[in-house]
Chains A and B, each alone.
Chain A
Amino acid sequence: MQFALLIYESPEAFAARNSDETDAYLGAWRAYHKAIVEAGIFVGGNPLQAPETGTTVRMKEGKRRVQDGPFADAKEQLGGFTILELPSLDAALEWAARCPAASIGAVEVRPVSSQYLRRVTG
Chain B
Amino acid sequence: MNGSGQEDAHRTIERVARESYGRLVAYLSANTRDVASAEDALSNALVAALTAWPRDGVPQNPEAWLLTTARHSFIDLVRHRQVAEASEPTLKLLREDSTEMTLSAEFPDERLKLLFVCAHPAIDPAMHTPLMLQTVLGLDAVRIAHAFLISPTTMGQRLVRAKTKIRDGGIQFEIPLERELPQRLDAVLEAIYAAFGISWDDMAGVDQRGRDLAEEAIWLARVLLQLMPGEAEVRGLLALMLHCEARRAARRGPDGRYVPLSEQHSDHWSLPLIEEAERHLAEASSRGRAGRFQLAAAIQSVHAERARSGRTEWTAIVLFYEQLIRISPTLGTKTGYAAAVGEANGPEAGLAVLDGIDPDGVSAYQPYWAVSAHLLQRLGRTSEAAEAFDRAIGLAEDPAVRQFLLQRRG
**Interaction A to B:** yes
Flag whether A32 is at the interface (Cβ < 8 A). yes
B contacts with A: majority SS: helix
Q: Complex: how many Å from CA A98 to CA B395? A: 6
Given A39-B364, A93-B149, A93-B150, A31 contacting B397 (CB threshold 8 A) = no
| CB-defined contacts of B396 to chain A, threshold 8 Å | 98
Flag whether A30 is at the interface (Cβ < 8 A). yes
| CB-defined contacts of B394 to chain A, threshold 8 Å | 28, 31-36, 98
Given A93-B150, A98-B396, A35 contacting B403 (CB threshold 8 A) = no
Contact in complex: B363, A38 (CB < 8 Å): yes
Contact in complex: B391, A94 (CB < 8 Å): no
The winner among B150, B393, B394, B395 for most chain A CB atoms within 10 A is B394
Q: Complex: how many Å from CA A90 to CA B127? A: 13
| CB-defined contacts of B149 to chain A, threshold 8 Å | 90, 93-94, 97
Indicate with 1 or 0, residue by residue over B34-48, a CB within 8 angstroms of chain A CB atoms.
000000000000000
Kindly count the residue-residue contacts between A and B in the assembled complex, taking CB atoms under 8 Å apart: 57
Min C-beta distance of B206 to chain A, whole Å: 14
| CB-defined contacts of B406 to chain A, threshold 8 Å | 24, 27-28, 31
Flag whether A103 is at the interface (Cβ < 8 A). yes
Q: Complex: how many Å from CA A63 to CA B108? A: 75
Flag whether A100 is at the interface (Cβ < 8 A). yes
Flag whether B402 is at the interface (Cβ < 8 A). yes
Flag whether B399 is at the interface (Cβ < 8 A). yes
Interface size on B, residues (CB 8 A): 20
Q: Complex: how many Å from CA A35 to CA B370? A: 13
Smallest Cβ-Cβ distance to B363: which chain A residue: A39
- Residues of B375-404 at the interface with A, using a CB-CB cut-off of 8 Å, are 389-397, 399, 402-403
Q: Complex: how many Å from CA A12 to CA B67? A: 54
Flag whether A40 is at the interface (Cβ < 8 A). yes
Interface size class of A (residues with CB under 8 A): 20 to 34
Q: Complex: how many Å from CA A38 to CA B199? A: 23
| CB-defined contacts of B397 to chain A, threshold 8 Å | 97-98, 102
| CB-defined contacts of B409 to chain A, threshold 8 Å | 27
Of B154, B393, B395, the residue contacting A27 (CB under 8 A) is B393
Smallest Cβ-Cβ distance to A36: which chain B residue: B394
Smallest Cβ-Cβ distance to A94: which chain B residue: B149
| CB-defined contacts of B402 to chain A, threshold 8 Å | 28, 31, 100, 103
Given A35-B395, A94-B149, A98-B396, A30 contacting B364 (CB threshold 8 A) = no
Contact in complex: A30, B150 (CB < 8 Å): no
| CB-defined contacts of B395 to chain A, threshold 8 Å | 35, 98
| CB-defined contacts of A94 to chain B, threshold 8 Å | 149, 364
| CB-defined contacts of A93 to chain B, threshold 8 Å | 149-151
| CB-defined contacts of A30 to chain B, threshold 8 Å | 390
Min C-beta distance of B145 to chain A, whole Å: 10
Q: Could you list 21 A-B pairs, sorted by A, with CB under 8 Å?
A: A24-B403, A27-B393, A28-B393, A28-B394, A31-B389, A31-B390, A33-B394, A35-B364, A35-B394, A35-B395, A36-B394, A39-B364, A90-B149, A90-B150, A93-B149, A94-B149, A94-B364, A97-B397, A98-B395, A98-B396, A103-B402
